Amino acid sequence: MKGWHAHRDAVDALLESYRRIPPGSRVRLAKKTSNLFRPRAENDTPGLDVSGLDGVIAIDTAAQTADVQGVCTYEDLVAATLRLGFIPYVVPQLRTITLGGAVTGLGIESTSFRNGLPHESVLEMDILTGSGEIVTATPDNEHAQLFEAFPNSYGSLGYATRLKIKLEQVPQYVTLRHVRMADAAQAVKAIETIAETGEWHGERVDGLDGTAFTPDEIYLTLAHFTDTLPSGGPAALSDYTGQQVYYRSIQQRETDALSMNDYIWRWDTDWFWCSGAFGAQNKWIRRIWPARYRRSDVFHKIVGLDEKLGIIKTLDRIKKVPGRERVIQDIEVPLDKVPEFLEWFDAEVGMRPVWLCPLRTTRSWPAYPLEPGTTYVNAGFWGTVEVPADAPAGLVNRKVEEAVHAMGGHKSLYSEAFYDKETFDQMYGGEVLDAARRRYDPDSRLSTLYEKAVRNS
């Protein structure tokens, strides 16, 4: 762990880097890696030095809290907490997502049906504002306005240098049941029951997510946290970091068992199912593909390399594919709208599998206003679709936005967005964010949320 002395030194380096940014220039991170899927404008201005803000400061096992630096990855955070028998309330699926990124953006996982989103377990945050000050924001102090507006602000209100979060005590193992549903309507009824009772057929459900392979092949995966090893001992635990692919096991096994660590990172090894696009699920390629390189950040780098070299575009020209659009999105719709959304999605987009993750929030957050206590379902779909050669930019993604909005849902902003300014402000707390910016960034040193999410500046 970093410790408080090292943290103070890292904050001093951050503030010094802020002072080196020319007056009037936009302030942004000097961060080389990202889990965003939208283009960002090139900028030669020096960025904020966050290189020392990448670890865990301290863990209080009695209070079940951790003080964590803003660009600490969940991989490092879980490694520190799990050895003490704890995990964050919500651990997003990919190892290199940072705690600050998940809070100022949005993270989600199978515990979200009972624990909400990552920012809901934050007790306080130290935030570097656009004016160059570091303030400590809590739900009820003089910076409560910033605390409330910060989630889903994507750096438009500042950057978290430290976050105090609540931890959940967990056992060593996780047993899984992959329950097949006949259709989306049946899945909705099951999710409703589990969200209300926390159980399924008498067994406690600690984690809940789903995989929709086809309209009539949908599985809900029910996770039960336990200290009891399955019969057969450690050898009975599955390992999907090797030759086996986790998402395929959902169709092949009714029950399964994993270590807590392997359950947390079950999706990362193959980036859900997206590693198949690189041949990493081919058994012959998989045998020679080093396990340490079968992880989401490596696949993300391969995508970035292709965007520079244009390999897929060249192959498309050879195969006479008229055009291709990247559709990488996570959206939330109310639970009862899931069948309607999936039916629309199959007709208009046609991409499977689709990941389903139920969530409930404990309160309304202005920049991502979901109704507290209402069950929503996150639908995640990641890939490309063929479009006409003369298709306008974002043809399919715009359709997704319109459909989700019409169904009373929201779309995460880590990927491309095309909303007009008025609609965007209505959906993502424009007035609240503007008020916070006037107080904490009066000289507009930070890009607005609309500039970041839609204009890619």
Average the pLDDT over 266-288 and give the result: 94
Is the pLDDT score of 204 beyond 80?
yes
Asked, for residue 301, whether it belongs to a domain, the answer is no
- The total domain count for the chain is 3
Is the pLDDT score of 260 beyond 80?
yes
pTM over 0.75: yes
Asked, for residue 163, whether it belongs to a domain, the answer is yes
Share of the chain above pLDDT 90, in %: 85
The secondary element (H helix, E strand) that includes residue 402 is: helix 395-406
CB 159 within 8 A of CB 127: yes
| Pair 399, 449 in one domain | no
**Per-residue tokens: 237:** 């635990």
Helix, strand or coil, per DSSP, at residue 95:
coil
Q: Measuring CA to CA, which residue among 243, 123, 224 is closest to residue 172?
A: 224
| Pair 142, 96 in one domain | yes
Q: Read off the CATH number of the domain in which 321 is found.
A: 3.30.70.2520
| Pair 34, 163 in one domain | yes
Average the pLDDT over 350-365 and give the result: 94
pLDDT band at 32 (very low <50, low <70, confident <90, very high): low
Asked, for residue 76, whether it belongs to a domain, the answer is yes
Give residue 179's domain range: 173-266
What span, in angstroms and rounded, lies between the C-alpha atoms of 300 and 233? 36
| Pair 227, 359 in one domain | no
| Pair 52, 181 in one domain | no
Note the pLDDT tens digit of each residue in 303-343.
Answer: 888 878 877 787 778 887 888 999 999 999 999 999 999 99
| Pair 165, 178 in one domain | no
State the angle between helix axes of 338-348 and 184-197 in degrees (0 to 180), rounded to the nearest 10.
140
| Pair 325, 392 in one domain | yes
